[in-house]
Amino acid sequence: MGGVIGGLIPFILNYHRSEAASVNDGTYIGFMCFMSAGALLSLAILPACKVVRDDGSRCTSILYSNVSTECVEVAKLFSNWKVLLMVPAAWSSNFFYPYQFNEVNGALFNLRTRGFNSVFYWGAQMLGSVGIGYVMDFSCERRRVRGLVGVVVVGVLGTVIWGGALANQLRYSSNGLPAKLDFKDSGFAGPFVLYFSFGLLDAMFQSLVYWVIGALADDSEILSR
């Protein structure tokens, strides 16, 4: 939801500045107000000891020692092979953002349309999370089959979407960028659908990675008993 609002702010505040090179000062002020409001809302979060679950039980209250001890314990986690297995997954789940944001959204669309696209990009991530969540939780009775179905779904969609990205990339290069598209232009639909699909696929891929990691952790716990 934060990404959707983050796209709405520059879109609304720069609606009549479609040909400008950068956003206006009001956009930065809007982001600062939004972030400040979020920081203030965090003060309303209850302490863990006061959180009561639906069944009447209370959350465990964890007491932290000090900063140095916590830093040492965090460092020790990287000697755990299960934690190290998460490093490639964490990298692969974010490395594509510079390309999508700069070489597609930034290169092909004008200022206000980039904000417009961002609204749908992050909205697509929410839809993708719901979709892959349904596949991984309810598509089949056996967990192994659900995992295989999820891999196939994400693999097929990923191949199609990144194939479309390659076809789109071949239309232009850094030395010959096309005119910036506006969301009212006739040629807007194709590149927009591609960018929307990026958001959909990104969420599905990340959710699948998290599910696989969780499943491996569950299996490891069972085997260790």
User: How far apart (Å, rounded) are the C-alpha atoms in residues 176 and 178?
Assistant: 6
The model's pLDDT over 133-168, given as tens digits with 9 standing for 90+, comes to 888 888 788 888 888 888 888 888 888 888 888 888
Find all residues with CB under 8 Å of 161, minimum gap 6, and list them.
Answer: 194, 197, 198, 200, 201
Please determine, for residue 176, whether its predicted confidence score (pLDDT) is greater than 80.
Answer: no
Q: Which residues pair with 181 in a beta bridge?
A: 109
Residues paired with residue 58 on neighbouring β-strands, in sequence order: 52
User: Domain limits of the chain?
Assistant: 2-46+94-224
pLDDT score at 211: 62
- What DSSP letter does each residue of 140-191 carry, written as one string? -SSHHHHHHHHHHHHHHHHHHHHHHHHHHHTT--TTSPPPPB-TTSTT-HHH
Please write the tens of the pLDDT for every residue from 38-49.
899 988 888 777
Residues near 219 by beta carbon (within 8 Å), at least 6 away in sequence: none
Does residue 19 or residue 211 have the better pLDDT? Answer: 19
Q: Which of 1, 11, 42, 191 minimizes the C-alpha distance to 114?
A: 11
Digit-coded pLDDT (tens) for 182-224: 999 988 999 999 999 988 888 776 666 666 665 665 544 443 4
Q: What is the DSSP letter of 52?
A: B
- pLDDT digits over 98-140, tens only? 888 988 898 899 999 999 999 999 999 889 888 888 888 887 8
Give the separation between CA 199 and CA 105, rounded to whole angstroms.
Answer: 12
pLDDT computed for residue 32 by the predictor: 92
